[in-house]
A = this chain, B = another copy of it.
Amino acid sequence: MKMTAWSVSGIGEIIPGDQLGDIIVDACRAEPNGPLLNGDVLVVTQKIVSKAEGRLVAIDPDDPVSHKQLVEDEAVRIVRRRGDLIITETKHGFICANSGIDLSNVERGFAALLPIDSDRSARRIRDIINAKLGVEVGIIVSDTFGRPWRNGLTDVAIGVAGIAGVVDLRGTPDALGRMMHVTEVCVADELASTGELVMGKSSGIPVAIIRGVDPTWLRDSAMSEIVRPAQEDLFR
């Protein structure tokens, strides 16, 4: 099995009201690696989704209190707090730093909030690509989250369309023919991470294409596959 990932060039600064699907279609048409194919997965960073959807709020960049207030407004619960670091649970059920609000790669004086419904954002992009290019692709809206116990951030999925969130390999015999215990793999997060590796953080390239994904993973899905219900969670 072979998989290829590359970043899509030619996507300029995104502003509120931009139709992201159209912009991605145009960029993909100009791709030196050729046209999109059925089964390709596109990873699209949250930042441009939030910008296109107008999820920008004015802040005073020199006033940490207003930033903190915004973080709390976007949270349904404060999970941990230490110094300036606030880990919150968002309305979507994501647990992340600062309610996912980010100031980098956003015009000074503004903060980008998470999309209201990233699955819907992903579906909209998928539908436009399908209508204009006639291909069935998967879309992952990605964001960069920290995690407990390990240093460094990794990119994870915060919205999915047409690509599985979690693939259930429970009951699939292992290579020795024995039934496996529990192996539910979050392929959407792994694909988001793969996308991050080719986009880079400071280069500002907001879309990656991944080709060669297991075709059985291309199916209807939603973030509810990935977000663990609080009552099943041991760490909040």
Contacts and interface: CB of A to CB of B under 8 A. Distances in A.
B150 A189 contact: yes
Nearest to A156: B150
Interface in A60-87: 80, 82, 85, 87
A212 B103 CA distance: 30
Contacts of A185: 144, 152-154, 196, 201
B236 A148 contact: yes
B95 A149 contact: yes
A225 B149 contact: no
A120 interface: no
A91 interface: no
B103 A149 contact: no
A11 to B, nearest CB: 11
Chain A interface secondary structure, helix, strand, loop or mixed? loop
B150 A226 contact: yes
Given A108-B178, A181-B103, A148 B186 contact: no
Contact of A202 (B169, B204, B236): B169
Nearest to A98: B181
Nearest to A217: B197
Interface of A: 1-7, 33, 80, 82, 85, 87, 94-95, 103-108, 144, 147-156, 165-167, 169, 172-176, 178, 180-181, 183-187, 189-191, 193-194, 196-204, 212-214, 225-228, 233-236
18 contacts: A1-B199, A3-B6, A3-B197, A5-B194, A95-B149, A103-B181, A105-B180, A106-B176, A148-B148, A148-B235, A149-B227, A150-B186, A153-B185, A154-B185, A174-B204, A175-B203, A183-B201, A198-B212
